[in-house]
A and B are shown apart, each in its own frame.
Chain A
């Protein structure tokens, strides 16, 4: 993938070659976005952090399977699979009040959080992966094991719903 800073590429290469220090730096750099993705997918802080932890540890274990590209994008794809695996084991209930920063949240963010929670699961996942985690539609399709056209459509529909929520807040 293009657009990576050289030090990010070097760090990723070193980490994937087994350098723990480089891996630690990458984790520190990307932990927030990976945890945010986990929280958006699971709609829960604790479940989201568990997903992020499992994804990062799996990335470390399976570092020999890394085939280049962004570390964050790769871990986000693993995180999505972790989410799917965890969901099969036990369906977690919506915990809106457990969502990141819920206490003292601004009205805009609360409205959007509700709007995100209200999205269809595929739409929410596509939005979280493409807009939240910055994955390309193709990478998101790969992670979701869904046709590219479906992912594009989920992103469009989900975005439209969220834009409506945002517009409603701005009108208020």
Chain B
């Protein structure tokens, strides 16, 4: 094996490594990479919006349906809500317990809200 050189130069410090890493980074050109990332991020936004808005609309629908079903138990604010509710009740012949409907509406609303939040965060 070869002998070590008689005079070793000063050991290069971290600066030399940093220079090497900096040169390596400088050699990486932005060949459309950033544009692709931004486009993908934008696509994800529109996809998430659809989910969140869809979940919101579904939650709204459930809430509206529950309010209509709960109408007999609420102060009579409008005649049309009462009329609609009566028709709905006639259609269902009181098959469902109002308390069950309220509980289902709350569970559905909370589930949709959690789903919407999780979709937004992930």
Contacts and interface: CB of A to CB of B under 8 A. Distances in A.
A132 B23 CA distance: 11
Q: Secondary structure at chain B's binding surface: helix, strand, loop or mixed? A: helix
Interface stretch (A53-61, A78-86, A88-96): A53-61
A97 to B, nearest CB: 15
B24 A100 contact: yes
B36 A53 contact: yes
Contacts of B37: 24, 27, 31, 53, 56-57
Interface stretch (B5-13, B52-60, B105-113): B5-13
Contacts of A162: 17
A36 interface: yes
Interface string B15-41: 011101101111110100110111011
Contacts, number: 90
Nearest to A130: B14
A167 B13 CA distance: 10
B121 interface: yes
A163 B11 contact: yes
B5 A32 contact: no
B41 A23 contact: yes
Given A32-B28, A53-B37, A100-B28, A166 B16 contact: yes
Contacts of A101: 24, 27
A23 B44 CA distance: 14
Given A20-B45, A35-B28, A60-B41, 20 more contacts: A23-B41, A24-B34, A27-B34, A31-B33, A31-B34, A32-B25, A36-B25, A36-B28, A52-B33, A53-B37, A56-B37, A60-B44, A62-B121, A100-B28, A101-B24, A101-B27, A132-B21, A163-B13, A167-B8, A167-B9
Interface of A: 20, 23-24, 27-28, 31-33, 35-36, 49, 52-53, 56-57, 60-62, 64-65, 100-101, 108-109, 112, 127, 131-132, 159, 162-163, 166-167, 170-171
